Structure 1
Amino acid sequence: MHSDRTASPLLKVLAWGGLILLHLPLVVIALYAFNTESAAFSFPLQGFTLQWFGKALSRPDVLEAVWLSVKLAAMATVLALVLGTLAALAMWRHQFVGKDAFNMLLVLPIALPGIITGLALLSSFKALGISPGMLTLVVSHATFCVVIVFNNVLARFRRTSQSLIEASMDLGADGWQTFRYVVLPNLATALLAGGLLAFALSFDEIIVTTFTAGHEKTLPIWLLGQLTRPRDVPVTNVVALLVMLATVVPILAAYYLTKDTETVAGSSK
């Protein structure tokens, strides 16, 4: 029986209205990053200028915060790629007691509210005698970035046929050769997409970072501190725009990398 899947006009209007409502504040920030007037959100816009970009990129505090966030996101992403891939491999290849509980516990850090995760991590670090700093930031960011990598890699594993691995072993390949020449090529785009998403998630994380940063000032923490400095609003808008771009680009890249990979070569139906 034929079913009409065309959305009603009202549903389309509501969907577009929701999208506009969500993205309108971002558009406002982007527009005022080019405003010639230095006052906070004066209306209408007084003109178009790029001077605030030059001022933002010449400020040492901005550059230090950007570099710290990039370095933190890169380290957390690498750690998440290793741990998330190993966890996905264990879930895919082996049956063990508490497998479902392990899966739930792995996803829990990103499912819980950020304030709960931040408090739990801070309490754990204090109990272990570890002072908040770069180490605690990397570990705390990796705890929720692992989930992103784990979900991407596990989904790809589940679409990969076991017969490929068995055929590789039958042809004389050892475990490392099978992983390198059979498993890894199938995982390549999933790993890249998971890494890009994990980097974007870590780069703009603020809630967990507030609890575990100590004296470190990442870019989101720098932006939070700028709320008390109205004279710096144009520079703040520029930095916020750059953060949005740094977050959106990896997400779009991850989407385009994985949108055509529903069927993997050799996958079984």
Structure 2
Amino acid sequence: MRRWLADRWVMGVALLVLGYLSLPIIVVAGLSFNRPSSRLSYDFNEFTLDNWTHPCATSDMCDALVRSMEIGLIATVVSTILGTLMAFALVRHGFRGRSGINGLIFLPMATPELVMGTSLLALFVAAGVPQGFWTIVIAHVMFCVSFVVVTVKARLAGMDRRLEEAAMDLYASEWQTFRRITLPLVLPGIVAAALLAFSLSFDDFIITNFNAGTTVTFPMYVWGAAQRGIPPQVNVIGTAMFAIALLLVGASSLRGRRARRAALAAPVAAVGAPTSAS
């Protein structure tokens, strides 16, 4: 009886927390179908699909959105490649100074964005680098790499190395083992790290604001629009991005489960090693 009550209590708390976290998303999704009475009104006035059929009614907003997506994609690709290579080096190889590097990885994560933004601003000004699109990309890569390293490291640390050893025992080369065993198992972690890096880059405002120059990103546009009324199309974009992220996370999780089952069930078939007759 006590166990039953404890389980119900834990489930109730979990549902409350989930509802609390989901409430802003639900409000944004609802307001995406609203025709406000004025730009400064956030009350639900009238149901409409115009916001969804004309998401780029405000051209400046869509320009800022595309620019943020370009910055986010470039920063994600670069930081994911660098962070994944660094994670493999820190987990799979022993070298002098590894513990110090492990500690430095957390430095950008622990540093306040205000401090990092002003530091990068001083660096770019001292180096004579004009502020704009590429200074934003450099700044975003700098803090996204740490999150990629930590995420991929956690995935690598939880892997069963015996699967790789079994593949090598069955005459698989190092490249075959990496391509058929290691990469499928670590891929969900890499995808999760890439999604995290993109969301951090796309959402960043403080560091971007210090190093953007005249370039306007989507968060900067929303911040400026908040003073004169946020257009309802912003809610459409937010709802669409949440739905896409949810689909990507679900697809990544499903792919990870299939990869684990395939690697655990038939390492011989995955490697395709020849058998020798005695």
Please give the range of the TM-score, normalised by the shorter of the 2 chains: 0.7 to 0.9
Q: CA RMSD in A?
A: 3.3
Which residue identity does 1:105 align to in structure 2? L
Residue matched to 2:74: 75
Percent identity of paired positions between Structure 1 and Structure 2: 32
Residue 12 and residue 59 in structure 1: after superposition, are their counterparts in 2 closer, same or farther (change >3 A)?
same
Contact 1:34–1:48 at 8 Å: present in 2 too? yes
Q: Which moved more, 1:208-217 or 1:4-13?
A: 4-13
Aligned counterparts of 1:170 and 1:255: Cα–Cα separation in 2: 29
Aligned counterparts, 1:4-153, within 5 A: 4=3, 7=6, 13-39=12-38, 40-41=40-41, 43=43, 45-153=44-152
Residue 85 and residue 73 in structure 1: after superposition, are their counterparts in 2 closer, same or farther (change >3 A)?
same
Runs of 4+ in 1 over 6 A off after TM superposition: 259-264
Q: How big is the shift at 1:161?
A: 0.9
Flag structure 2 segments of 5+ consecutive residues without an equivalent. 265-278
Residue matched to 2:236: 238
Residue 104 and residue 261 in structure 1: after superposition, are their counterparts in 2 closer, same or farther (change >3 A)?
farther
Q: How big is the shift at 1:13?
A: 4.9
Aligned counterparts, 1:139-218, within 5 A: 139-158=138-157, 159-161=159-161, 164=164, 168=168, 171=171, 173=173, 176-218=175-217
Aligned counterparts of 2:118 and 2:6: Cα–Cα separation in 1: 43
Q: Map Cα deviations across residues 1-58 of structure 1 (whole Å, 9 max, x no partner).
A: xx95964666655554444444433322322221233324454x33310112344324
Q: How big is the shift at 1:178?
A: 4.7
Q: Which moved more, 1:233-242 or 1:160-169?
A: 160-169
Residue 90 and residue 258 in structure 1: after superposition, are their counterparts in 2 closer, same or farther (change >3 A)?
same
Contact 1:200–1:247 at 8 Å: present in 2 too? no
Which residue identity does 1:195 align to in structure 2? A
Q: Which moved more, 1:238-247 or 1:140-149?
A: 238-247
Q: Map Cα deviations across residues 203-234 of structure 1 (whole Å, 9 max, x no partner).
A: 2222222222222111111111111222x542
Residue 69 and residue 177 in structure 1: after superposition, are their counterparts in 2 closer, same or farther (change >3 A)?
same
Residue 96 and residue 142 in structure 1: after superposition, are their counterparts in 2 closer, same or farther (change >3 A)?
same
Aligned counterparts of 2:114 and 2:233: Cα–Cα separation in 1: 28
Q: Which moved more, 1:24-33 or 1:202-211?
A: 24-33
Residue 256 and residue 197 in structure 1: after superposition, are their counterparts in 2 closer, same or farther (change >3 A)?
farther
Aligned counterparts of 2:247 and 2:217: Cα–Cα separation in 1: 20
Which residue identity does 1:137 align to in structure 2? I
Q: How big is the shift at 1:88?
A: 0.8
Contact 2:185–2:256 at 8 Å: present in 1 too? no
TM-score by structure 2 length? 0.77
Which residue identity does 1:168 align to in structure 2? M
Contact 2:185–2:260 at 8 Å: present in 1 too? no
Residue matched to 2:220: 221
Aligned counterparts of 1:140 and 1:254: Cα–Cα separation in 2: 27
Aligned counterparts of 2:90 and 2:225: Cα–Cα separation in 1: 44
Flag structure 1 segments of 5+ consecutive residues without an equivalent. none
Aligned counterparts of 1:169 and 1:127: Cα–Cα separation in 2: 55
Which residue identity does 1:97 align to in structure 2? R
Q: Map Cα deviations across residues 75-110 of structure 1 (whole Å, 9 max, x no partner).
A: 111111211111111112222233222112112212
Residue 23 and residue 180 in structure 1: after superposition, are their counterparts in 2 closer, same or farther (change >3 A)?
closer
Aligned counterparts of 2:256 and 2:191: Cα–Cα separation in 1: 9
Aligned counterparts of 2:78 and 2:166: Cα–Cα separation in 1: 29
Residue 86 and residue 73 in structure 1: after superposition, are their counterparts in 2 closer, same or farther (change >3 A)?
same
Contact 1:197–1:254 at 8 Å: present in 2 too? no
